[in-house]
Chain A
C-alpha cells in the first residue's frame, strides 16, 4: 500500500520542504513571468526548469533514503483541520517524468515562441511561457495534494492553464476547440465536486489517508465514487468521452499538443488511480474493474482504427493518444483481488503507471517530430510525407524510436509495462486481458508503420524545405524518444510496486521475437485499414498479391468507415453528454454488488 497507517504520517517529515519547493518554483515562475512580460517571460520560464528538475530529483533521492512518503503539513496543521502535501513513490516518479518532459518541451518550444525582434511583447509567446510553468505547477499539485478538495482546485488550475494553449494562434477553429474543451472539462470537474461534497457529508474529512480508513460501502459513497470517476474520465478523454481531444490537437502548436497529450491528461488519470487505489480501498467490485478496462479496450481499438484513417500526421498522433489512454486503464481488473474485494498495489499498478510514463515521453517526442516535419514541409499530410526521411533524418528517427518504444520493443518502458500486465493477467487468470494487451501492441505498430512507410518512401517530386534543420529541436525530440526507449532499464523498485528481481530483465531474444509478431500484425493491419492514397502501389510486390490485398481491403474498409462515423457522432455534444450520463449510471450499477 502506498500509504501506511496514518499515525506516523501526521507530521512534516524530513525533506518535506522539497514538496513546497516543487510547487513554489513553477508558481513563482508564472507570477514573475506574468509581471516581467515580453522576452523576460521566456527566460524566467526556462530558468525554473533546471531548478524544478533538481527538486524533483531531490524528492526521488529523499524518498529512496527514508523509504517512507514525504509529508508536509501546511502551516503545521494536521488533517482533518489542515491540509497535507504527500509524496509517495508514484507521485515522485510522476513528478520526475513531468519535469523531464516539461524541460524538453521548453527547449523545443524556444524557436516557436520567440518574441519577434522589434516588438516588446507578442501575445502567443507571452501566453505560452506563462502557461507552461502554470501547467507544471498544477500537475505537481495534482501529484502532491493530500486532500480531495485541494486536488479539485489543482485539476481546475490544470484545465485553465491547458485550455488557452489550444488556441494560441487565435483562429476561429482553435478558439472553438478551446471552448469545447473548457466546457466539457468543467462538466467533468463539477461531477468530481459533487462527489467531494457527498464524501465530506458522510465522513467529515477529505484527507486521503483519513478517508481511506473510514470509507464504507454506503449509498452516498457509491454515488460519489461513480460521479468522481466519470468526471475524471471526461477530463482524461477516455473513450467515449473524448469529444474535446481531437479538435484540440488539430490546431494547437506542436509544443502545446505535446504538453496536452503527454502530461495534462495524465493529471486526471493519476487522480483516478489515487481514488481507486488509495481512497475507495474497500469499494472496487469485479464489475467496476472490468468496466474501466472494457472502456480502455474499446478506446484502444477505436482510437487505433480512426488513427489509421487520418489524413494528417498530427491527428493520427492525437487519435493514437486516445488509444494509449485506453491502455492505461487495463491495469484495473488485473490489480483486482476478490477476497477481500480491493485493488492490490502490485505489478499491475506498476505496469499501468510505467505505461503512463513511457506514453508521456514517447508521445511528446512524436508531437515534436511531427511539428518539425510540418515546419520543414509546410504541411503534415501523411500521403505527402515521401522523401522526408532523407531530408530530415533525425526528426523521422525520433518519431521512429518513439513509435518503437510505444509498441513495446525491449528495453522500452512500454515493454516492461506489458510484461508486468501480462504477468498480472496470468496470476489472476484473466486471459481476455492478455489478448487485449497483445492486440494493443499490434494496433500501435500498425499506425506507427503506416507513417514510417510514407516517410521513408522516396519523394514523388523534389520537396522544397521551408526552414533549415534545427539541431537543438531535433535533439530534444530524440532525447525524449530515447528516454522512453530506455525507461525499462531504470530501477523502479524504490518507487513503483514492482516485485524485487522481476525487473529490469535483460532484453532477451524471446522478448524481441514477441515484439516482432506485433510488428508483423501491425503491417497486416496497416495494409488492410490504412489510408494509402497513391502510395498503395508501393505495396504491390506482385500482381496476384496486390489483387488479394485489394480484395481484402474492400472487405475491411467499410468496417473502418463505421468506426469513423461513430467517432463523428461521439464528437457531438448531446451524444457525448448522454454517454457521460449513461456511464455514470453504469458505474453506479457496477458498484451495487458491494453496497450494504
Chain B
C-alpha cells in the first residue's frame, strides 16, 4: 500500500545496529527497481526532510514556553504592579523548588491520588450511564422524545450549582464530590453519543440489511461502531468538564484533593503552593485527555 512504510525504509531498518543518523546501507541491499534514486539519499537527511513540519512545531513550542517562563520570571522578579499586581505571585524558581519538595511529600501525593480517584469514579459512572442511554435514545424515537426534555432542563445547570443539593442528597462528602464530577461529564457524553447516532449513514444500514443483518445485529455491527468516534469526542469533552467540576467541588466542600490543596494554600498564605496546584491540575487534565485519545486510537484503528 502506498502511504505505508516505503520498501526501502523497511529494509534499511532491518539490520540491528544502524541508528537514525547513519546513512542507509544501500549498496548491499537490493534496491527496488522503481526507486533507485531514493536509496542513495542518506537516511538522516531524508528523515529530517520527512519530519520537517513536526520538528518546526516542536521548536516553536519550546521557544514559546521559554518566552513564557522568562516573562513570568521577570514579572515576579521586579514585582511589576501595573493594575495587575505581581507583588505576591511566586517566581518560577520558587514554584520549581516547592515542586521538588512536593515530589518527596506523601501528603501531596495523597491529594493528587484522591482527586484522580474521584475523577475516575465520577467519569466512569457517567460513561456507563450516558453512553448506553445515548445509544438507546438515538435508536428509539420514543425513548428520545421521552427523556430528551428532562435532559434539556438539567443540562444548563452548571455542576457547581449542584454542590448544595449534592451535599443534601448524599450521605458523605466523598460521594457528593463524585456525584458533581459525574453530573459535569454526563451531558457532554450523552449529547455527543446521541448526535453520533443521528449521523449514522443510512446507506450503511441498508447495506447491512441487504447482507441479511437483523435489527439487533444492525445495532451492534453498524450503529455502535459508527457512533464510536462521536462517543470519544464526548468522552474528551466530558473529561475536561469533569476536572472543572471536581476542582470547584473540592474547593467548596473538600477536605482533600488537589483543588482543596490549591484553595488551602491561598488561605495559609503559601503562594507557591497555589501555582503548584494549578500546574498539577493542568498536567493531570492533559494526561487524562491524552489517555482517552490513546484508548480511542486502540478501539478505533480505522479512524485516521
Asked if A and B bind, the verdict is no
A binding-site residues for B, Cβ under 8 Å: none
